[in-house]
Structure 1
Amino acid sequence: MNRFVLLAVLAEAFIIYASVLVKVVDMSPIIVGFYRIALAMPVFFLLARSQIGKVARKDMFLMLSAGVFFGLDLVFFNVAIHKTSIANVNLFASLVCFILVPIGAIFYKEKIKADFVVGSLIALAGVFVLIKGKGGESVATPFGDFLAFMSMVCYGIFLSLVYGLRKKYDTPILMAFASIGSIITLLSVGIPMEGFSLPKDAKTWWILLWIVIFGQLLGQGFFGYIMGKVDAQVSSLILLFTPMIAALMGYVFLGEKLGVFELVGMMIIIFGVYLAKMKRKKSKE
C-alpha cells in the first residue's frame, strides 16, 4: 500500500510540474491540451497492443466517455491557470476527493469511516490555511475560479470511471481509448475558440514534449495505475496533497516564498492525512 501512495504522490508532482509548463508555453491553452494527449496516445496504444481486441463494447464506450471528461478537464484547467491564481486552481483540484468518496460509497460499496471523514476535514483545513498564505501573490477572478471548479468536476468524473475500469483493464489500454475521446473533445472545443496552430520553434516543441512526458505518460499514467491498487478514499487523501506539492514546487522551481501560513498549512495537511490513513489501517486490523 505505501509504495502505491508514494507513486501517486509522485504522479501528482509530475502533473503539477506539467501544469506549470502549460502556463509558460507560448501556445493557446486548449491546443496545448490536444498535443499533450495526441503525442502520448501512440505510446499507450503500443503498450496495449495485445489487449486492443479484448475490450468489450460497453467498456470501450466507458473508456471513450472517460476520455471526453478528461478532455473537458484539460479545457477548463488549461484556461483556468491563465485566468486565476495557481493557488485557487490547486485548491479546487484538491476538492476532487468530495466527488470520488461518495461515488466509491454509492457505486462500489466502500464504507466511509468517521475517522476518515475527520482526518480529511483536518487536511482540507490545512489546504485553506496554505492557500491563504498564497492569497496575496496573484489576482484571482470569479471566471477563472469557475473554470477551476468545472475542471475539478470533470476530473472527478474521469477518475470515477477509471476507478471502475481499472478493476478489469490495465492502464495502457484504458488511457489509449480514453485518449480518443479526449482528442475529439479538445479539437471540438479548441478549434472554434482558438483555431489550430503548430509549435512555432524547437523550444516550444521541447516544452510540449516535457508536458507529454510528465503530465500524461508519467503523471496521468501512474495515477491511472494506482487507481486499480487503492480504494477511492485513499486516492482522495492523496489528492489533498495537491496544493502542498504545488507550493513546494513553486519554491524549488519558481523561487516562490514559503511563509508561516504555508508551512503551518502543510503540517496540518500531513497530520490530517496521517490521521485518516492510520485510522483506516487500525480499523482493517
Structure 2
Amino acid sequence: MSVRTDAPAAPEEDHAGRTAGLLALGLVILSFSMGSTLVKLSHTPGVTVAFWRMIVCSVIWIVIMRVTDGRWLNWADIKASLVPGVLFGLNICFFFTGITKTTVAAAEFTGSLSPLLVVPAGALFFKERVNGRAMLFGLISLAGLALVLFNAPPSNTEFSWVGVAWVGAAMGLWAGYLLTSRNLRQGRSVATVMAAITPIAAVVTLPLGLFVFPGTLDEVTWRSVVFIGILAIVTGTTAHGLMVYAQKSVPIGLISMLQVSQPALAVLWSVLMLDATVRGIQLVGMALVIAGLAAVTFVTQRGVFKGG
C-alpha cells in the first residue's frame, strides 16, 4: 500500500500566486474606487442607481451560485442574511444618495472612517480587545477629515453638508453590516452570501424609492442603464470575486493596509473624469486620514496576530 503525500508548493509557485493575488487586489481597489465617480456620471438619483444595481446583481449572483454551487437559495440562507441584507441595502442607498449631493472627496473620506466605529463596536458586542493606540490614531483621521470637509473650494457649489450627513449615516450602516455578517460566510460560498443579500437589499431599497424619493425609480435613461450595468458588473460582482481570489495568497493585514488608499484613488478619478477641484489644505487632510487609518489598521492587525 502506498501513501500519497502532497509536496509543498515550490517557492516559484508561491511567488507567482502572491503576485497574482496582489494584482487581483489592485484591481479590486481600482474597481471600488471608481464607484463614486460612476454614480455621478450616471446623472441619475442615488436611490435609483442603488435599486436597479441591486436587481441586476441579484440575478448575476443567483446565476453564479447555481453554476458554481449547484443549488438554489434556501430559507436558512435568507434567514441568516436578513439583517445584514437590510443594512447592506440601506448602506448602498444612503451612500449613493450622499454621493449625488456632495463631492467625491467629502463622501469618500467620510465613509472611510467606518473602522473607527467597527473597532469599539467589536469590543462592545463581541468582547474584542481594543488597542488604545488605535483609537488615538483614529483622532488623526478625524482631524484630517475636518480639513477635507471645512476647506472645500469656495467656488465648488457641489459640496453640501446634507450629502455628508447621508454618507455619515451610510458609514454607520456599513459598520452594522460588517458586525452582523461576521458569521454569515461560515459554511457558505461568496456566491451564496451575495445571492442572498442582494435581493434583500433590493427589497429594502424599493420603499425608499417609492415613498422617500417618490417618482425616482423610473428615472432611468440609456445613460443610466450603461452606468448601472458597469456598477453591477465591476463593483457589484467582479470586484468581490477578485477579493476572494486575493485573500487566498495575500495576508489579510496587507489587504487592509492597501485598501486604505481607496479614497485617495476615488478623488483622483473625480479629478480626471468629473473635473473636480481639490485644495492643497484638503490634500493635507486626506494624507492625515490615510495615515491615521493605516496606523489603526496596523496596530489592530498586529494585536490580532499577537493574540492569535
State the TM-score, normalizing by the size of structure 2: 0.73
**1:149 and 2:145 are equivalent in the alignment:** no
Work out whether 1:209 is the aligned partner of 2:229.
yes
Residue 45 of structure 1: how far off its partner (Å): 1.8
Q: Which residue of 2 aligns with 1:110?
A: 128
Residue pair 2:36, 2:266 contacting (<8 A) in 1 also: no
| Amino acid across the alignment from 2:179 | S
Q: Distance in 1 between matches of 2:284 and 2:141?
A: 11
What per-residue deviation string (whole Å, max 9, x for no partner) do you get for residues 46-97 of structure 1? Answer: 332327568672x532313222222212322222223333333224312322
Aligned counterpart, 1:272: 292
The residue that corresponds to 2:46 in the other structure is 29
Higher relative helix content: 1
> Deviations along 1:19-45, whole A, 9 cap, x unmatched?
222223243332221111111222212
8 Å contact kept, 1:52–1:173:
no
Identity %: 21
SS in 1 for 2:182: helix
SS in 2 for 1:95: coil
| Aligned CA distance change for structure 1 residues 273 and 200 (closer, same or farther; 3 Å) | closer
Aligned to 1:170: 189
Residue matched to 1:160? 179
Match of 1:76?
A: 94
Is 2:214 aligned against 1:197? Answer: no
Query: Structure 1 residues 184-193 or 140-149, which shifts more?
Result: 140-149
CA–CA distance in structure 1, aligned partners of residues 290 and 92 of structure 2: 28
Structure 2 unaligned runs (5+)? 1-17
Equivalent pairs counted in the alignment come to 280
The Cα RMSD (Å) is 3.7
Gaps of 5+ in 1: none
Please say which of residues 1-10 and 37-46 is displaced more in the overlay.
Answer: 1-10
Measured after TM superposition, the shift of residue 15 of structure 1 is 3.0
Per the alignment, residue 55 of structure 2 pairs with 38
The structure-2 alpha-carbon separation of the partners of 1:221 and 1:282, relative to structure 1 and needing over 3 Å to count, comes to: closer
For residues 114-143 of structure 1, give each alpha carbon's deviation from its aligned partner in whole angstroms, at most 9, with x where no partner exists: 232233332333333344443533354443
**Alpha-carbon spacing, 1:129–1:196, altered in 2? closer, same or farther (3 Å):** closer
Distance 1:146 1:270 in 2: 21
Letter in 2 for 1:150: A
Structure 1 counterpart of 2:81: 63
